Amino acid sequence: MENQNETHGDRKTGRWVLFATILASSMAFIDFTALNVALPAIQSTLSARGSELLWVANGYNLLLASLILVGGSLGDRLGRKKVFAGGIILFTVSSIFCGVSPSVGFLVAGRAVQGIGGALMVPGSLAIITSYFGPDKRGGAIGTWSAATTVVMVAGPVIGGLLAQSGLWRLIFFINVPIAAAALSVLLLRVPESREPGGAQGVDTAGAVLITASLVGLTYGFTSASELGFGDQIVVVSLAAGFGAFAGFIVVEMRSRKPMLPLGFFKSRTFSGANLLTLFLYGALTAYTLFLPLNVIQVQGYRESVAGLVFLPFILLLAGMSRWVGKLADRIGPKPFLIAGPFLAGAGFFLTSFVGLTAGPKAYWKSFFPAIVLFGLGMGITVAPLTTTVMSALSTRFAGTASGVNNAISRIAGVLAIAIMGTVAFTSFSSAVAEQTAKIDLPPAAREEVMRQAPRFGDASVPESVPVDLKGVVELSFKTAFVRAFRLLMYMCSGLAWVSALMAGIFIEKKAVPS
């Protein structure tokens, strides 16, 4: 049985390891950041309802969250380099499919296949780094990875905004092709293989099926509830099936000899605490980065190219702080950072809730900017210590699986946050539109058409049947309703972030424990 975990080789090879993993990870990061800015253009081009827009985001996250544990385990058992390369190829092919999709349905299907590729690719990145670098170098290497991928993320919103504004949002998916070619060439030629002692073993098929069924049921149920209501039979059955499948998943993992989610990992207090923090904080992060671009583009009137710069302070702070904070956390322990960071991020969310209708981009510096800076400081303090904590809480023998667990939890958090918060937002929006328009003297037919626009959320447009002198009032009602829904989401995000800080205070050990 081959043991290639502790390679800890020369500095030159280490640079190639970082280069290959950074390039491959950049595909997922660019896709995520660019797509969020382009969502309004996608919604307009493909005439998508708000709930369909959520599926464009969740189609990817759903499969990624469901299968990322399998991807991490496969990397540990079959070879991290091999599985990582397979993920890159599948992610790239499905990106091309997304780029040529003629409808929302095709795009969601392509995003789902992207999720499968991501499940093979995402956990392998940090697992390869962790298996190559020793404990004394690992924090700095992960910090470099975090900083470099974050710098790459800067290009995502800018490129996405420019392409969306030019009507070329499909090209966002084709950016992955040259990046994948470069990553694969370096990976195959320069990066050593590593795997868990014991070699290839079986895959937990039952576990994978049950967790996928659980997330599909929960996501479909929560997302559909915004239009059908929680009392609808389809919604009730879907949610019941989702919760039931999750219970079955836990039972299977407890009894399985080779589980995809080894529940014994959670005997580590630090590992449990880090993953609870991840669950709450990354749920808030996902909702924030999805709904804020919709706000600034569809409601505040930012052009897509300008909206792509809105998150720039956050990205620069995260990139600038990650390596330094990662090294500092190696010396004094991660706990102070994992309390202070989420607390500041929560304060950023809360500050964002005070932003109402603004005068557009010229009001950015007094409206969104301070909150985004505060949020960026919080995440800059959190990300590198959190990643190092997760990867160091267990033996490097399980690096891929540990990375997979944490990534799965962050993605599950995102899937559920989008589904649940999306339902909250759509319900609040529809209620506010009805409340606002009830004050307007509209003809009955026009009022019905106005309410039929509610499922389009931020893309709701004033119907032609609305009298000319009332069109401006109705448009303002749509925007006011969106702001009210968005404010509620920010309250939820801040609460989740502060709960994550509490989890760190309760569970994370004071000093880092190198594996």
Q: Per-residue pLDDT tens for 388-424? A: 888 777 776 666 567 667 877 888 899 899 999 999 9
Predicted local distance difference test score (pLDDT) of residue 396 = 66
Average pLDDT over residues 454-460: 85
CATH assignment at residue 377:
1.20.1250.20
**Which residue, among 116, 42, 152, has the nearest Cα to 411 in the 3D structure?**
116
Residues near 423 by beta carbon (within 8 Å), at least 6 away in sequence: 222, 223, 225, 226
The answer on 173 and 86 residing in a single domain is yes
Residue with the two structure tokens 């319900």: 427
In the structure encoding, which two tokens stand for residue 41, read together?
């253009």
Spatial contact of 320 and 259, defined as CB atoms under 8 Å apart: no
Residue 124: inside a domain: yes
Find the mean pLDDT for residues 467-476.
Answer: 88
Residues 295 and 181 in one domain: yes
Domain ends where: 195, 230, 259? 259
Whether 313 and 228 map to the same domain: the answer is: no
Which residues form the domain of 220?
204-259
297 in a structural domain: yes
What whole-number distance in Å separates Cα of residue 118 and Cα of residue 123? Answer: 8
Asked if residue 153 and residue 61 are part of one domain, the reply reads: yes
What span, in angstroms and rounded, lies between the C-alpha atoms of 432 and 389? 43
Is 441 domain-assigned?
Answer: no
Position 282 in a domain: yes
Among the candidates 259, 288, 323, a domain finishes at: 259
Whether residue 296 is predicted with pLDDT greater than 50 in this model: the reply is yes
Average pLDDT value over all residues in the chain: 85
In contact, 22 and 216? CB cutoff 8 Å: no
Does residue 267 sit in the same domain as residue 244? no
At 152, which amino acid appears? V
CB atoms near residue 507 (< 10 Å): 19
Q: In this structure, what are the phi and psi dihedrals at residue 360, rounded to the nearest 5 degrees? A: 95, -160
Element (H, E) at 64: helix 50-78
Domain count, the chain: 2
477 occurs within a structural domain: no
Same domain, 161 and 208: no
- What whole-number distance in Å separates Cα of residue 181 and Cα of residue 69? 26
* Alpha carbon distance 377, 356 (integer Å): 23
Same-domain status, 170 and 244? no
Instruction: Report pLDDT digits (tens) over 17-66.
Output: 887 888 888 888 777 778 888 888 898 888 888 888 888 888 888 888 88
pLDDT for the residue numbered 377? 95
Q: Both 53 and 18 in a single domain? A: yes
Model pTM score? 0.84
- What is residue 81's predicted lDDT score, i.e. its pLDDT? 84
Give a yes or no: residue 336 inside a domain.
yes
For residues 417 and 252, give the distance between their C-alpha atoms in angstroms, rounded to a whole number: 25
What is the per-residue pLDDT across 145-182, written as a single tens digit (0 to 9) for each?
A: 766 766 666 677 888 888 888 888 898 899 888 888 88
Split at pLDDT 50, 70, 90, the class of 201 is: low
Task: Give pLDDT tens digits for 423-433.
Answer: 999 999 999 99
Please identify, among 237, 259, 281, the residue that sits at the C-terminal boundary of a domain. Answer: 259
Shared domain check, 167 and 33: yes
Q: How far is CA 250 from CA 259, 269, 276, 417, in A?
A: 10, 19, 17, 21
Distance CA 64, CA 215 (A): 11
> Is 127 a member of any domain?
yes
Are 283 and 358 members of one domain? yes
pLDDT beyond 60 at 313: yes
> If we measure between CA atoms, which residue out of 150, 223, 226, 239 comes closest to residue 429?
226
Residues 133, 175, single domain; the answer is: yes
Helices 269-294 and 468-507: crossing angle in degrees, nearest 10, is: 170
Q: What per-residue confidence (pLDDT) applies to 248?
A: 95
Query: Based on the domain organization, do 119 and 223 belong to the same domain?
Result: no
Q: What does the pLDDT read at residue 514?
A: 43
Asked if residue 42 belongs to a domain, the reply is yes
Do residues 405 and 278 make contact, with C-beta atoms less than 8 angstroms apart? no
